[in-house]
């Protein structure tokens, strides 16, 4: 098993700013959703990924339109990065006809095959064998497309995870398993559900490499993903990337997260991926105050527009419940 090489990369000023915009947009989208839930305006369960944005941006940035992602409940940002308009995503949360599933479903189960987004079910881990299946299709069709499958450290304890990794390892499939290790599976801390420290260690038993990285460092996530993508595209098979991170909010917006301490939360907030990247960009002369203000204003405008669009969009009608069915 050749070790993962540290992939060299160079990003232009525009690409770095693009990454920054995504971090800001995804954070703002979740923050607004959190407010909208409290206002009773959202008709979906909301599982924010605030604090985890660098994982989504770092793993999504190097993907092509033809590549597939298999996102989970906390990965709305991955939908946005893959091309779902904020208006459409917000409509999905409002259960309006302008949403992905036209108001017939909670936010968490929608997919868009034309954009390479597989719609997940509620069964955690069940997206992983599907990801392996998609990757098998890509291999059989002799394309060099890849699949990125997201999961939490909690989901890495279910059987589907192990079956998917085993199959992907045996078949050398072009799939990148991205663990968003945010330390908790609902209220269960990592050490109560796993007897090892690193989910990444699990890859070795399936014959491929796993790496454990700082999931709050967007460039580190990007670098590891680039290496994994290059391996997958060239037929060298899967990689597991474990991104150590933290979710700032509870499991969902109704969870006050009393099972963790204020000190722990404060410690992780001090590792917020966005200020870290902001400082980096400022120190390299990529971002100045004027540009920062411009990006923040554009993000706010995008979110305001998405909320207004979703709020004013029509509700589904009863007849819609039986359209788009497969006979
Ligand atoms: C197979 C399965 N078991 C249990 C649940 C209930 N459940 C929903 S979210 C969750 C915690 C998931 O934790 P993790 O996989 O670490 O992802 P995170 O929510 O932390 O991002 C659980 C146990 C489920 N949806 N599916």
* Exposure string for 278-301, b = 16+ CB within 10 A, e = fewer: bebbeeeebbeeeebeebeeebee
> In angstroms, rounded to a whole number, what is the distance separating the alpha carbons of residues 175 and 217?
22
**Contact between residue 29 and residue 264 where contact means Cβ atoms under 8 Å apart:** no
- Provide the pLDDT for residue 325: 84
Mean pLDDT across 228-247? 98
**Atom number, ligand 1, closest to the C-alpha of residue 155:** 15
Tell how far the Cα of 245 is from the centroid of ligand 1, in angstroms.
16
- Provide the pLDDT for residue 219: 98
Tell how far the Cα of 280 is from the centroid of ligand 1, in angstroms.
34
Q: Is the pTM of this model over 0.75?
A: yes
Inform me whether the pLDDT recorded for 86 exceeds 60.
yes
Tell how far the Cα of 154 is from the centroid of ligand 1, in angstroms.
6
Sorting pLDDT into bands at 50, 70 and 90, what band is 109? confident
Inform me whether the pLDDT recorded for 223 exceeds 60.
yes
| Residue of minimum CA distance from atom 9 in ligand 1 | 186
Which residues, judged by CB distance below 6 Å to any ligand atom, belong to the binding site of ligand 1? 74, 122-125, 152-155, 158, 180, 182, 184-186, 251
Percent of the chain with pLDDT over 70: 98
Tell how far the Cα of 185 is from the centroid of ligand 1, in angstroms.
6
Tell how far the Cα of 7 is from the centroid of ligand 1, in angstroms.
32
**Atom number, ligand 1, closest to the C-alpha of residue 153:** 16
Q: What is the pLDDT of residues 128-176, one digit of tens each?
A: 999 999 999 999 999 999 999 999 999 999 999 999 999 999 999 999 9
| Residue of minimum CA distance from atom 12 in ligand 1 | 185
| Residue of minimum CA distance from atom 13 in ligand 1 | 185
- Provide the pLDDT for residue 326: 79
Tell how far the Cα of 152 is from the centroid of ligand 1, in angstroms.
7
Burial class (CB in 10 A: 0-12, 13-18, 19+), 162: middle
| Phi, psi of 188, rounded to the nearest 5 degrees | -90, 115
Inform me whether the pLDDT recorded for 269 exceeds 80.
yes
**Atom number, ligand 1, closest to the C-alpha of residue 156:** 15
**Atom number, ligand 1, closest to the C-alpha of residue 186:** 11
Tell how far the Cα of 11 is from the centroid of ligand 1, in angstroms.
35
CB under 8 Å to 126, separation ≥6 — which residues? 120, 160
Which of 46, 127, 161, 186 for a ligand 1 pocket mutation test, highest count of atoms within 8 Å of Cβ? 186
Tell how far the Cα of 271 is from the centroid of ligand 1, in angstroms.
24
**Contact between residue 175 and residue 146 where contact means Cβ atoms under 8 Å apart:** yes
Q: What is the pLDDT of residues 171-215, one digit of tens each?
A: 999 999 999 999 999 999 999 999 999 999 999 999 999 999 999
| Residue of minimum CA distance from atom 20 in ligand 1 | 185
């Amino acid at each position: 098993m050749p070790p993962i090489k540290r992939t060299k990369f160079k990003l232009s000023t525009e690409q770095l700013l693009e990454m920054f915009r995504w971090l800001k947009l995804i954070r703002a989208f979740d923050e607004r959703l959190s407010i909208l839930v409290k206002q009773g305006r959202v008709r979906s369960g909301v599982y924010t990924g605030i604090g985890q944005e660098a994982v989504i941006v770092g793993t999504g940035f190097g993907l092509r339109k033809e590549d597939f992602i298999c996102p989970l409940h906390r990965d709305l940002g991955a939908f946005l990065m893959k091309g779902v308009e904020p208006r459409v995503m917000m409509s999905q949360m409002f259960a309006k006809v302008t949403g992905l599933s036209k108001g017939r479903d909670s936010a968490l189960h929608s997919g868009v095959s034309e954009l390479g987004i597989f719609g997940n079910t509620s069964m955690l881990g069940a997206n992983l064998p599907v990801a392996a299946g998609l990757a098998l299709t890509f291999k059989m069709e002799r394309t060099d497309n890849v699949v990125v499958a997201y999961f939490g450290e909690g989901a890495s304890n279910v059987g589907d995870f192990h079956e998917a990794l085993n199959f992907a390892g045996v078949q050398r499939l072009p799939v990148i398993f991205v663990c968003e290790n945010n330390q908790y599976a609902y209220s269960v801390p990592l050490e109560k559900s796993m007897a090892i420290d690193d989910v990444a260690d699990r890859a070795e038993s399936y014959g491929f490499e796993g790496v454990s990285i700082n999931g709050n460092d967007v460039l580190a996530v990007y670098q590891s993903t680039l290496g994994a993508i290059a391996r997958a595209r060239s037929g060298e098979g899967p990689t597991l990337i474990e991104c150590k991170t933290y979710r700032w909010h509870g499991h969902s917006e109704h969870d006050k997260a009393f099972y963790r301490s204020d000190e722990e939360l404060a410690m992780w907030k001090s590792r917020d991926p966005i200020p870290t990247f902001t400082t980096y960009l400022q120190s390299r002369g990529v971002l100045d105050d004027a540009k920062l203000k411009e990006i923040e204003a554009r993000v706010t405008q995008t979110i305001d527009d998405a909320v207004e669009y979703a709020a004013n969009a029509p509700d589904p009608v009863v007849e819609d419940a039986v359209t788009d069915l497969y006979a």
